[in-house]
Amino acid sequence: MFKIRKLLALVTGKALIALSRALGGQGTNLPGRLASFIYPPLLSELSRNITGACFMVTGTNGKTTTCNLAAAIIREQGFSIVHNQAGANMLAGITTAFIQNSDLLGQRTHDYALLETDEANVAPLLQIIKPRYILITNFFRDQLDRYGELDITVKLISSAVKGTGIELILNADDPLQSNWPSLTGLKCLYYGFDHTAYDNLDSADSRECRYCMLCGHELEYSYYHYAQLGRFQCPHCGHHNQQLDYVGSELSLEDGIAFKIGDLHLESRLQGFYNAYNILAAATLALESGFGKDIIKRAIASHQPAAGRMENFIIGGKQVFLILVKNPTGFDQSLAMLTGDIHTKNIFMALNDNAADGRDISWIWDTQVELLARSEEKITGLICSGQRSGDMALRFKYAGLDTSKIVIEPYLRKAIERTLGLEGQVTYILCTYTALFACRKILLRLRDR
């Protein structure tokens, strides 16, 4: 039967996407929201056009990169795919992705759907779509103010999946996921790294869960990969990491990333331990879904970093890196990478406190900004921008950095120009989510000038 409301919803959605693009926006949420308002079953009906499987990816960090890598693998195999854009991971953004890939009658089919899903949107999305797998990256502190505490986030997702029969792909190194087989009653597959050259025995202060999820006693770690990820055991009840189904071994983080999963050797141009997890997660999902090893290897090797994930620009003959930061763990990983760079550097950080950034900016105090003070002679300036530029400057000041190097300039364009004017060899532009696209636009304009 021809449904006029559905047609209207699709026409409106597509028109809004086109309009928003023409105006230079991302066109990610509004089209989906309005189209669903016009025709509420839209997402449910469009999702039935997926002939292969739907995959849902959630967790705190690494969702976007993991999805991008998995999408690259699926495309490498020649399949068509519906995949929501970076960060547009609420119901509205997911709906927009389906509209964009649909025809006006809502009948075009695709092989796969890859849905990056915000933690709080897992439950409502499961009411509409039943994925083949749900993959979880990790649980770190992120935008706590939206949900209360991390415990609540974990509970929200584990109770939403309970009884659905969906298979889970989980991170075995994260103690917050280790009790999920009993917690959810579902089949759980685990990926993780064995002992690597980058592990340490002590870890930073803001670890999320040092206590056993089952009995509340303090966990003992044989080693930490980073944050609370590592090999642990509860001395009281014996609870420990789940058996690994997919093991990342022989990890190298020199000049990119390389490691093995069994006889599959993977190499990538991405950087940092956190990206090694993203690659391992995406490869696990692909292997479990039956994709060939050569396809996986090729897709991962040719994958380029996405917007704000260490995107690289050359402006005025100098290297500029754009990095999205949104929580302490991500920020610390970026700082570790930045201090590892031997060049002199100009540092810019835009801190916003809109809903998508997290209204509460307290998390900057859970980071190891003190790391920067160790190689302060390499830092030409710390330019603080965005709505909470004062708070960022304050954090740098109390990390012991020279206040004569700290500048507060709330306006992004002015602040970026000022940063690029410093004499450092390399420039790092760090920013929270809602400043990302504005910063990127400014950088592109400066590059093309």
Partner 1 sequence: MAKFVIAHMYPDLMNLYGDRGNLICLQKRLEWLGQECEIRKCFLGDQVDLGKTDMFFMGGGSDREQELVFQDLRTRSEELWQAVQDGLPGLCICGAYQLLGEFYKAADGTIMPGLAFFGLHTVAEPGRLIGNILIEAEIDGSPSSIVGFENHGGRTYFDDPELKPLGKVLRGFGNNGKDKTEGLLYRNLVGSYLHGPLLPKNPVLADFFIHAMAERKRISIDVRLDDGIETIAHQQVEKMLA
The CA dihedral of 115, 118, 123, 129, to the nearest 10 degrees, is: -10
Region binding partner 1 by CB under 8 A among candidate stretches 41-49, 81-89, 307-315, 385-393: 385-393
* Amino acid type, 319: Q
DSSP tag of 319: E
Using CB atoms within 10 Å of the CB of residue 398, give its burial: 0 to 12 exposed, 13 to 18 middle, 19+ buried: exposed
Told to check if 376 binds partner 1 by CB under 8 A, we report no
Answer yes or no: are the C-beta atoms of 213 and 175 closer than 8 Å: yes
* Amino acid type, 244: L
Told to check if 398 binds partner 1 by CB under 8 A, we report yes
Answer yes or no: are the C-beta atoms of 288 and 282 closer than 8 Å: no
Residues numbered 60-79 forming contacts with partner 1, rule: CB under 8 A = none
Site pattern 145..184 for partner 1 (x: CB under 8 A): x--xxxx---------------------------------
Region binding partner 1 by CB under 8 A among candidate stretches 58-66, 175-183, 204-212, 274-282: 204-212
Q: What are phi and psi of 216, to 5 degrees?
A: 85, 0
Q: Which residues pair with 58 in a beta bridge?
A: 136
The residue within the footprint of partner 1, chosen from 214, 258, 307, 406 (CB under 8 A), is 406
C-alpha–C-alpha distance, residues 88 and 315, integer Å: 29
Any catalytic annotation for residue 118? no
64, 158, 234 from 184: Cα distances, Å: 25, 6, 21
14, 95, 99, 170 from 104: Cα distances, Å: 9, 14, 9, 37
C-alpha–C-alpha distance, residues 46 and 14, integer Å: 14
Answer yes or no: are the C-beta atoms of 161 and 186 closer than 8 Å: yes
Q: What are phi and psi of 225, to 5 degrees?
A: -75, -60
C-alpha–C-alpha distance, residues 234 and 222, integer Å: 11
Told to check if 211 binds partner 1 by CB under 8 A, we report yes
The pair of structure tokens assigned to 70 is: 């998995």
Does an H or E element contain 45, and which?
helix 42-47
The residue within the footprint of partner 1, chosen from 103, 294, 360, 376 (CB under 8 A), is 360
Between 196 and 233, whose beta carbon lies closer to partner 1?
233
The residue within the footprint of partner 1, chosen from 362, 421, 441, 444 (CB under 8 A), is 362
Region binding partner 1 by CB under 8 A among candidate stretches 140-148, 279-287, 341-349, 420-428: 140-148
Site pattern 212..251 for partner 1 (x: CB under 8 A): ----x-x---------------------------------
Between 222 and 354, whose beta carbon lies closer to partner 1?
354
The residue within the footprint of partner 1, chosen from 34, 144, 156, 446 (CB under 8 A), is 144
In the complex, minimum distance from the CB of residue 179 to partner 1, in angstroms, rounded to a whole number: 14
Between 113 and 325, whose beta carbon lies closer to partner 1?
325
The residue within the footprint of partner 1, chosen from 289, 344, 375, 387 (CB under 8 A), is 387
C-alpha–C-alpha distance, residues 401 and 395, integer Å: 9
Told to check if 411 binds partner 1 by CB under 8 A, we report no
Task: Considering the candidates 142, 360, 391, 402, report the single residue annotated as catalytic.
Answer: 360
Region binding partner 1 by CB under 8 A among candidate stretches 114-122, 167-175, 210-218, 375-383: 210-218
Region binding partner 1 by CB under 8 A among candidate stretches 65-73, 167-175, 260-268, 401-409: 401-409
Total number of residues that touch partner 1 (CB under 8 A): 37
The residue within the footprint of partner 1, chosen from 359, 374, 414, 445 (CB under 8 A), is 359
The residue within the footprint of partner 1, chosen from 64, 228, 389, 427 (CB under 8 A), is 389
Q: What are phi and psi of 224, to 5 degrees?
A: -110, 135
Told to check if 366 binds partner 1 by CB under 8 A, we report yes
Told to check if 316 binds partner 1 by CB under 8 A, we report no
Q: Which residues pair with 247 in a beta bridge?
A: 192
Between 67 and 120, whose beta carbon lies closer to partner 1?
120
Return the SS3 of 358: coil
CA-closest candidate to residue 297, choices 266, 254, 257: 266
Told to check if 397 binds partner 1 by CB under 8 A, we report yes
68, 412, 429 from 435: Cα distances, Å: 21, 8, 11
Told to check if 315 binds partner 1 by CB under 8 A, we report no
The residue within the footprint of partner 1, chosen from 124, 256, 340, 390 (CB under 8 A), is 390
Cβ contacts of residue 23 below 8 Å, gap of 6+? none
Chain contacts with partner 1 (rule: CB under 8 A): 144-145, 148-151, 205-207, 210-211, 216, 218, 359-366, 387-391, 393-395, 397-400, 403, 406, 408, 410
Q: Any idea which residues carry the catalytic annotation?
A: 360
